Structure 1
Amino acid sequence: MHYPVNVFTGKVRDYDGSRPSAIAKVQVDGELTLTGRGLVGDEQAEKKIHGGPDRALCHYPREHYLYWANAFPEQAGRFIAPAFGENLSTEGLTEKNVFIGDIFRWGEALIQVTQPRSPCFKLNFHFNISDMSRQMQDAGKTGWLYRVVQGGQVSADLPLTLASRLSDVSVFDACAIAWHMPFDDEQYHRLLSAAGLSASWTKTMQKRRISRKIEDNSRRIWGR
């Protein structure tokens, strides 16, 4: 299957009441260069939690925007790509049919799904919805992140094509295991066995198995 894609990049800017962010992205056309750090010209504000080899690209399903427009009708006009700061937007790919470790060909490049996007508190400020990050996490409509296996020239004129599937853990399953289930060592082992899982998620699941506890995510979700 071929999935036509829209492409977006952004620059870091300041936001009142929140920290700087590059969530406000704009559509770009024509040929672009993709490296191990992402699209040339795209920026991330806080490299510890955004960007890096395992989070080089963010993908958000375009079909989710109808869900959010219905959930927040007073802001319906805002819920169009790339409102969630995504680099890639498609129809036909969702958390339920994309799997951890999936490798997609895009132009000269190969990109691999590494983890669900972990919604952070900046979304609350971006949309002026106090619990947007929590709602996104609870709905499992998070999108996902990629590492760049092979860089090269890419373009919005070139589709994404699934090249390889390496695990049976969907992005939706990963969300459920990480955020929706009580402590479940067997499911953590299943997630850790998914080839391609990001280093940060691998570390988190390993820590849970050792400590027998689920970490506190309030700082990520609420900014405190």
Structure 2
Amino acid sequence: MRYPVEVFTGKVRDYEGSRPSAIAKVQVAGELALTESGLAGDEQAESKIHGGPDRALCHYPREHYLHWAREFPEQAELFVAPAFGENLSTSGLTEENVFIGDIFRWGETFIQVTQPRSPCFKLNFHFGISDMASIMQASGKTGWLYRVIAGGKVSAGAPLTLASRVSDVTVYEAGVIAWSMPFDDEQYHRLLSAAGLSASWTRTMQKRRVSGKIEDNSRRLWGR
């Protein structure tokens, strides 16, 4: 199956009342270089939580935008790609049919799904909805992130094609395990067994198994 893709990049800019962000991206056409750091010309603010080898690209399903426009009719005009700061936008791929560790071919490159996108408080400011990050996380409509297995030239004219599937944990299931269920060591072990899982999620799940506790995500979701 081939999935046509739209491509977006962005620069870091300041936001009143919030911290700098590169969430405001613009569509690009033509050929681009993709490396382990991401797309040429794309930036991320606050490298501790954005970007890096396991988070080189962000993908958001285009079909979710209708859901958000219906959910928040007063902000409906905002819900068009790339409103969530995604680099890749497609129809046909969602959190329920994409798996942790999936390897896609894109142009000359191979990219691997590493984790769901972890919504952060900057979305609250971006959309003017005080609890947008929390609502997005609870919905499971988060999108996902990639690492770059092999870099090269890519373009919007080159579709995504699934090359390999190496785990049985969907992106949606990963989010449920991490955010929506009470402490469950068996499910954490299952998620840890998913080939390709990002280092940060591997670390978090392992810490839970050792401590017997779920970490506090309020700072990420609310900025406090």
Q: Secondary structure at the match of 1:12?
A: coil
Task: Provide the rounded CA distance (Å) in 2 between the counterparts of 1:152 and 1:41.
Answer: 14
Partner of 2:223: 223
Q: Residue deviations 1:155-202, cap 9 Å, x none? A: 000000000000000000000000000000000000000000000000
1:35 maps to what in 2?
Answer: 35
Structure 2 distance, partners of 1:68, 1:93, is 17
The unaligned stretches of length 5 or more in structure 1 are none
Residues of 1 paired with 2:51 and 2:139: CA distance? 23
Code of the aligned partner of 1:187: Q
Give, in whole Å, the separation in 1 of the partners of 2:95 and 2:45. Answer: 25
Shift of 1:15: 0.1
1:124 CA displacement: 0.3
RMSD: 0.3
Q: Tell me how far apart the structure 2 counterparts of residues 93 and 189 of structure 1 sit (CA, whole Å).
A: 26
Give, in whole Å, the separation in 1 of the partners of 2:38 and 2:156.
Answer: 15
Q: Deviations over 1:87-113 (max 9, x none)?
A: 000000000000000000000000000
Q: Which runs of 5+ in 2 are unaligned?
A: none
Partner of 1:88: 88
Deviation of 1:13 (Å): 0.3
TM-score (norm 1): 1.00
Q: What is residue 118 of structure 1 aligned with on the other side?
A: 118
Instruction: Tell me how many residue pairs correspond in the alignment.
Output: 224
1:162-181 alignment, distance < 5 Å: 162-181=162-181
CA–CA distance in structure 2, aligned partners of residues 18 and 184 of structure 1 = 35
**Secondary structure of residue in 2 paired with 1:76:** helix
Task: State the Cα distance separating 1:58 from its structure 2 match.
Answer: 0.1
What residue in structure 2 maps to residue 205 of structure 1? 205
- Counterpart amino acid of residue 184 in structure 2: D
The structural deviation recorded for 1:76 is: 0.7
- 1:101 matches 2:98: no
TM normalised by structure 2 equals: 1.00
Matched residue SS, 2:191:
helix
After TM superposition, give the deviation of residue 129 of structure 1 in Å.
0.3
Partner of 1:61: 61
Query: What secondary structure does 2:69 align onto?
Result: helix
**Equivalent AA in structure 2 for residue 60 of structure 1:** Y
C-alpha separation in 1, matches of 2:154 and 2:46: 25
Runs of 4+ in 1 over 4 A off after TM superposition: none
1:153-164 maps to which residues of 2 (within 5 A)? 153-164=153-164
* Residues 54-92 of structure 1: per-residue CA shift (max 9 Å, x gap): 000000000000000000001111100000000000000
